[in-house]
């Protein structure tokens, strides 16, 4: 097999973060301390070596890139201050930009001013688009879906989800094909026969249920990350609350839509706080807002390795998530106030515009790690299973 050398690779990756791994002399100290090294005695040193010698394909085919938690143990122990954990974060940003073909992720990561202008323009577009079709305000309770027609929101949402899914799928397939080739995994390995299917199902459960939702290794491996931190500020917990909060809000929206579709309740009908879709949405909103607020505070205060360097794209994701959660609560308050407040309509318009932007930009911001990490964890679980069987 021919290995193509990209002499610009290291400098290109460095555009996505400040890590300067040119000082790395492959001593292996980071490998000795990294909690993920159990399956591969060369991680993370090998990934740094790929960048140093210009092995772009190998770098982008490494599942380990996505299993790293940015705990910082490797950087704390590096004798040359090469900062391997920040290099891994920069390499992940580089990979997100490489897997998607439009170039938007690269702009958002490496051109902060233009990226911020694009972000503002996308939100403004959705707001103006919705407002152009607006109906009347007024009445004794907020008639949000008269102000912005429900059908418009629904079909714009469908279009946004379609574009997001297509962009995401292109990125996932590109990444998965690279990793599969690198790992020697083929379609028959995954789907060929009952044993292969059972192994695939087990790897899927491990990637999605145990690791992505349950955060098992994050909890176990990063327990030394911030030993003095109380539970309510642990990285794995605020990460989990953010994921569960986001998924809960998505579930509440889909449930509300399903209830309207089946004729149980029309969208926009006043409902009490304990109504299932409202209750799920409220609890999920609290979870999301708490997680994102702590993430933002940590980044602003640079409390740990993972928050030492923040790109505009990292902030963009947090800001979009926070606005979506916070405006959702403002709407909820407005709905229960005795006299329908006029500001409730404008907050609703802003909420819908930002939520649409959040979903549309998912494959291009740091949010994309939510697509790539489960894929990497799937290959990780497959490799662990294979090594157990052959070991
Ligand atoms: S500890 Fe530092 S110098 Fe040693 S291999 Fe890791 S990054 Fe390179
Ligand atoms: S940041 Fe932590 S998980 Fe990532 S390579 Fe370094 S030691 Fe390993």
Mean pLDDT of 139-160: 88
pLDDT tens per residue across span 197-223: 999 999 999 999 888 888 787 777 655
pLDDT tens per residue across span 272-314: 888 988 999 999 999 999 999 999 998 898 887 777 788 888 8
**Which pLDDT band holds residue 39 (cuts at 50, 70, 90)?**
low
- At residue 113, the pLDDT reads 93
* More confident call, 169 vs 20: 169
pLDDT tens per residue across span 173-195: 999 999 999 999 988 888 888 88
pLDDT tens per residue across span 315-326: 999 999 999 999
32, 47, 83, 84, best to mutate for ligand 1 pocket (most atoms within 8 Å of CB): 84
Residue 260: pLDDT over 90: no
Tell me if 34 CB under 6 Å of ligand 1: no
Tell me if 27 CB under 6 Å of ligand 1: yes
Mean pLDDT of 245-266: 89
- At residue 387, the pLDDT reads 64
CA-CA distance, 278 to 314, in Å (whole number)?
A: 30
How many whole angstroms from 34 Cα to the centroid of ligand 2? 5
Tell me if 109 CB under 6 Å of ligand 2: no
Tell me if 115 CB under 6 Å of ligand 1: no
Tell me if 69 CB under 6 Å of ligand 2: yes
Tell me if 70 CB under 6 Å of ligand 2: yes
70, 90, 221, best to mutate for ligand 2 pocket (most atoms within 8 Å of CB): 70
Looking at all shown ligands, the one closest to residue 89's CA atom is 2
Q: Which atom of ligand 1 lies at the shortest distance from residue 29's CA?
A: 1
Nearest residue by C-alpha to atom 3 in ligand 1: 24
pLDDT mean across residues, the chain:
88
CA-CA distance, 56 to 323, in Å (whole number)?
A: 37
Nearest residue by C-alpha to atom 3 in ligand 2: 68
- At residue 388, the pLDDT reads 64
- At residue 137, the pLDDT reads 85
Q: Which range, 27-36, 137-146, 154-163, has the best average confidence (pLDDT)? A: 154-163
Mean pLDDT of 120-138: 92
Mean pLDDT of 117-126: 96
- At residue 241, the pLDDT reads 93
Residue 7: pLDDT over 90: no
Nearest residue by C-alpha to atom 5 in ligand 1: 26
What's CA 314's distance to the chain center, in Å?
10
């Amino acid at each position: 097999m021919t290995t193509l050398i990209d002499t610009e690779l290291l400098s290109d990756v460095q555009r996505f973060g400040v890590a300067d791994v040119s000082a790395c002399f492959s001593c292996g100290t980071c490998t000795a301390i990294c909690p993920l090294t159990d399956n591969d005695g060369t991680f993370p040193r090998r990934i740094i070596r790929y960048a140093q010698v210009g092995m772009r394909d190998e770098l982008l085919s490494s599942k380990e890139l996505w299993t790293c938690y940015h705990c910082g143990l490797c950087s704390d122990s590096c004798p040359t201050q090469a900062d391997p954990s920040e290099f891994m974060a920069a390499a992940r940003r580089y990979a997100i930009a490489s897997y998607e073909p439009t170039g938007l992720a690269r702009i958002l990561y490496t051109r902060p001013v233009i990226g911020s202008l694009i972000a503002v323009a996308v939100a403004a577009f959705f707001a103006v688009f919705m407002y152009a079709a607006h109906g009347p305000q007024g009445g004794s309770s907020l008639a949000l879906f008269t102000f912005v027609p429900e059908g418009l929101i629904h079909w714009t949402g469908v279009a946004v989800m379609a574009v997001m899914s297509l962009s995401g799928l292109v990125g996932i397939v590109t990444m998965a094909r690279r990793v599969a080739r690198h790992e020697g995994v083929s379609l028959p390995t995954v789907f060929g026969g009952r044993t292969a299917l059972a192994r695939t199902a087990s790897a899927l459960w491990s990637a999605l249920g145990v690791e992505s939702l349950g955060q098992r290794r994050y909890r176990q491996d990063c327990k030394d990350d911030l030993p003095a931190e109380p539970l309510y500020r642990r990285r794995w917990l605020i990460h989990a609350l953010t994921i569960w909060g986001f998924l809960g809000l998505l579930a509440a929206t889909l449930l509300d839509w399903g209830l309207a579709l089946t004729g149980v309740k029309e969208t926009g009908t006043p409902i009490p706080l304990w109504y299932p879709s409202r209750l799920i949405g409220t609890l999920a909103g609290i979870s999301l807002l708490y997680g994102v607020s702590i993430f933002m505070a940590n980044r602003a205060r640079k409390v740990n390795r993972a928050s030492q360097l923040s790109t505009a794209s990292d902030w963009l994701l947090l800001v979009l998530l926070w606005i979506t959660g916070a405006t959702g609560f403002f709407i909820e308050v407005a709905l229960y106030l005795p006299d329908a407040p006029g500001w409730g309509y404008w907050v609703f318009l802003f909420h819908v515009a930002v939520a649409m932007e959040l979903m549309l930009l998912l494959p291009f911001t740091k949010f994309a790690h939510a697509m790539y990490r489960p894929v990497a964890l799937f290959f990780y679980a497959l490799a662990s299973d294979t090594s157990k069987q052959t070991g």
